[in-house]
Amino acid sequence: MPTHVMIDIETMGIGPESAILSIGAVKFNPMAQAGEVDDCFHVGIDLASCVSHGLKTDPSTIMWWMSEDRNEARQALHALQRVDLWEALDGFGQWFGQSSLPVWGNGATFDNVILRNAFARTQQACPWKFWDDKCYRTLKGLAPGLSVERVGTHHSALDDALTQAKHMQQIVNHLALSL
């Protein structure tokens, strides 16, 4: 069974050098039944450590996080133990393993790019090869009528990664794709 990785990150900006608040990731088979996953990873990251590595915050994103609509997401973030960026990425790399796998992020210029940049900023090797970068947003555009049932808290990195993996499995099965 092919293993893919769905990642989701929560950030303090939208640019490629944005500070990361948390990383959620799921290993899964995209052709399995919707909701079947093999393994999960979730870590909170200390914002000050991101800034010390040169990652940036954006005032409009900070204000977005302060919105009353984000209360539940902020609570989920605060419940996470936060570690240094270097330690978080090292843990992610260990969880990911030695072999490159297809890595899906929600947007061609967001999750994968920001995470790859964070690896570079901490002078760590990104655990996947550039040719394994995949765009979940592009895939979901192939089945716009196929709705997704949200898992957990919206804007919790792990819950969003689980939701996206489940939705991707629905799309792959609906379109009879072989990935």
Q: What is the mean pLDDT of residues 77-101?
A: 97
Q: How many domains does the chain have?
A: 1
Per the model's pLDDT, the better-predicted residue between 82 and 149 turns out to be 82
11: left (phi over 0), alpha (psi -120 to 50) or beta: beta
Per the model's pLDDT, the better-predicted residue between 178 and 53 turns out to be 53
Query: Which residues, other chains included, contact 143 with Cβ-Cβ below 8 Å and sequence gap of 6+?
Result: 170, 171, 174, 175
Q: Which amino acid is at 133?
A: D
pLDDT at 148: 87
Say if residue 64 is exposed, middle or buried (CB neighbours under 10 Å; 0-12, 13-18, 19+).
Answer: middle
Please answer whether residues 37 and 167 qualify as being in contact, where contact means their C-beta atoms are separated by less than 8 angstroms: no
Backbone φ, ψ for residue 119 (5° rounding): -60, -45
- Residue span of the structural domain in which 85 resides: 4-175
117-170 tens-digit pLDDT: 999 999 999 999 999 999 999 999 999 999 888 999 999 999 999 999 999 999
The enclosing domain of 129 has a CATH number of 3.30.420.10
Residue 1 has pLDDT above 80, yes or no: no
Say if residue 3 is exposed, middle or buried (CB neighbours under 10 Å; 0-12, 13-18, 19+).
Answer: middle
For the chain, what percent of residues have pLDDT higher than 90? 96
Q: What is the mean pLDDT of residues 84-101?
A: 98
26 to each of 82, 88, 92, how far by Cα in Å? 19, 15, 11
Residue 146 three-state SS: coil
CB neighbours (10 Å) of residue 126?
Answer: 21
